[in-house]
Amino acid sequence: MTRLLDPADWRARERAHAERADALTAGHRERSARGERHPVEDFLYTYYSYSPAQLRRWHPGPGVELAEAAGEERAGWRWYAPGAAPGSLRVDDAAMRAEKAPLLTAVERMLRLTAARPGSFGCFGLHEWAMVYRQAEHRHPVPLRLGQAATDAVVEAHELRCTHIDAFRFFTPEAVPRNRFAPSRETQPELEQPGCLHAGMDVYKWAMKLGPLVPGELLLDAFELARDIRFLDMQASPYEMRAWSGEPVRIETAEGKAEYVRRQRGFAERANALRRAVREAAFGDAAVSRATPSPR
């Protein structure tokens, strides 16, 4: 059933979305204008390649008509079509589903399978440590908090349990055989699990790929989750990041491990709630007819 939103309602939502997006991206935009970069916050714009302008664009999601919108800029946006009411616009989800069927099927499957799998909470963020293991040159021009030898010793004192291909592919050659899993693009749907910080960040990526099928409010929720996760990812990393992310989470200690797992569980719960909400918005109630299990 299609719902018709009057102009006052949808324009208020559109305005609130733009204001929220502007607030979330203000720091990045100001730094970009000065030619500066924040190694924690600005990662989201390079790793995912989505611009502040894309985040600022509000969509109502499928099943909603925007009254008196035919004369608006969005009439020229892709995947919009005239609604049943005169002068209205709606997301043309049928056309998008027909043209993007393989992509949408893959995204829905990834969201569904990840949420249904128990969370794993024993990795302690060691993926970042495995990316510098026994290496003289590092991906990031930031000193190691413990130095190279002590950083290598932390890796050697633990079992690596990374399940995420986009972290594992940056492991040093010496770290690869130390990992319990061998993630690949092909096995990603079978290995992705809600305890993984990078899988939680990727909810933002999946929401972006679904485009106008995801209401703007959910997209910004996913962006905020990715931003918050990124801070823990760097706080628990081997790098000296205090100038950008605050005090480190010292996962080489029992106390640091406990803090990491506590926050990791909170992110897993937020991510699974968003996975369910995104699937329900983009694919309908039938896609989420079974309750999403809680991470264990």
Find the mean pLDDT for residues 96-104. 96
54 or 285, which is more confident? 54
> Where in the chain are the domains?
3-94, 102-288
pLDDT of residue 285 exceeding 80, the answer is: no
The rounded percent of the chain whose pLDDT value lies above 70 is 96
The rounded percent of the chain whose pLDDT value lies above 90 is 90
Alpha carbon distances (Å) from 76 to 59, 81, 101, 210, 214: 13, 9, 22, 18, 18
For position 138, what pLDDT does the model report?
76
pLDDT of residue 295 exceeding 50, the answer is: no
pLDDT of residue 287 exceeding 70, the answer is: no
Helix ranges restricted to H, 67-147? 93-99, 101-116, 127-130
User: Which stretches of the chain are assigned E, i.e. beta strand?
Assistant: 3-5, 64-66, 80-82, 89-91
- Summarised one tens digit per residue, pLDDT across range 132-165 is 999 987 777 889 999 999 999 999 999 999 999 9
Mean of all residue pLDDT scores within the chain: 94
Q: Residue 239 pairs with which residues in a beta bridge?
A: 144
- Summarised one tens digit per residue, pLDDT across range 24-67 is 999 999 999 999 999 999 999 999 989 999 999 999 999 999 99
Q: Residue 65 pairs with which residues in a beta bridge?
A: 4, 90
pLDDT of residue 293 exceeding 90, the answer is: no
Lowest mean pLDDT among 60-64, 82-86, 219-223, 242-246: 242-246
Find the mean pLDDT for residues 93-122. 96
pLDDT of residue 13 exceeding 50, the answer is: yes
For position 114, what pLDDT does the model report?
97
pLDDT of residue 289 exceeding 60, the answer is: no
Find the mean pLDDT for residues 97-116. 97
Q: What is the DSSP letter of 130?
A: H
For position 166, what pLDDT does the model report?
96
pLDDT of residue 70 exceeding 60, the answer is: yes
pLDDT of residue 294 exceeding 90, the answer is: no
pTM value?
Answer: 0.93
Q: What is the DSSP letter of 160?
A: B
Find the mean pLDDT for residues 78-101. 96
